[in-house]
Amino acid sequence: MKIFSKHLILLGVMAIVSLNSCSFLDVDTYFEDTFSQDSIFHSQKNAEGYLWNTPKDFPEPGAIWGGSWNPGQLASDEMTARWRTSEFPGMLFSIGEVNERNLPGSMNIWSRMYRIIRRCNTMIAEVDKVTDMNTREKQVYLGYVHFLRGYAYYHLLMNWGPCLILGDEVFASSESAAYYNKERATYDESVDFFTHEA
């Protein structure tokens, strides 16, 4: 009888394990990894998926104290605090321990914002290729794209000062260094550009 009950328990465990879902069957990330850039603007569904995947690179607006992405309240001459940890980069910034060479990872949003701007410029250039989107839907789509691009420039201006404004140009990634040597805009030009985007 003991042998029979052991076999029954073993059979029950095997049934539970075999009926349990397997993570290797989750193919969502596989499709994301293998999605071709050429397929993005073949349908409205793909184009909107590309649009709504763009804001993932924006910093978390609620991360003010732990893992903050900007100096925030602690970056002031009048502010003092007893702690000096990397969890509060604003304090490190205000006492002079943060500069352009040792910027904490959470504060370094430069590359992420220009990634968003490149994606937005790509969407502006390619939206006319979406055949199953009518004129009104394209206008709404472009409205979202321009807002995202303006919001990215806003973050750049607030954290880094005057921006390198790219306009609608999608830069090739295989040119010589001289091709990428561009001048920053002035503060007023930067503000004018992103306020007209929104």
80 phi, psi to nearest 5 deg: -130, 150
Does one domain contain both 92 and 168? no
Mean pLDDT of the chain: 78
On the 0-12 / 13-18 / 19+ scale of CB atoms within 10 A, 68 is buried
Give the angle 138-144-145 at the CA atoms, nearest 5°: 85
pLDDT digits (tens, 9 = 90+) for 131-162: 999 999 999 999 999 999 999 999 898 888 89
- Residue 27: which pLDDT band, with cuts at 50, 70 and 90? very low
Give the angle 16-20-23 at the CA atoms, nearest 5°: 150
Supply the range of the domain harboring residue 89. 60-107
Give the angle 85-87-93 at the CA atoms, nearest 5°: 70
> Residue 187 has which token pair?
């503060």
For residue 7, tell me if it sits in a domain: no
Does one domain contain both 49 and 65? no
pLDDT at 31: 47
- Kindly report the CATH number assigned to the domain that includes residue 154: 1.25.40.890
Looking at per-residue pLDDT, the higher value among 187 and 24 belongs to 187
pLDDT digits (tens, 9 = 90+) for 43-54: 999 999 999 989
- 8 Å CB contact between 127 and 138: yes
* Nearest-10 Cα torsion for 141, 147, 153, 159: -130
Does one domain contain both 53 and 129? yes
Mean pLDDT lowest for which of 16-20, 57-61, 152-156, 187-191? 16-20
For residue 33, tell me if it sits in a domain: no
Which positions ≥6 away from 195 have C-beta within 8 Å? 150
3-class SS at 27?
coil
pLDDT at 40: 86
Please give the helix or strand (H or E) that residue 96 lies within, else none: none
For residue 102, tell me if it sits in a domain: yes
Tokens 């793909």, located at residue: 46
For residue 193, tell me if it sits in a domain: yes
- Residue 90: which pLDDT band, with cuts at 50, 70 and 90? low
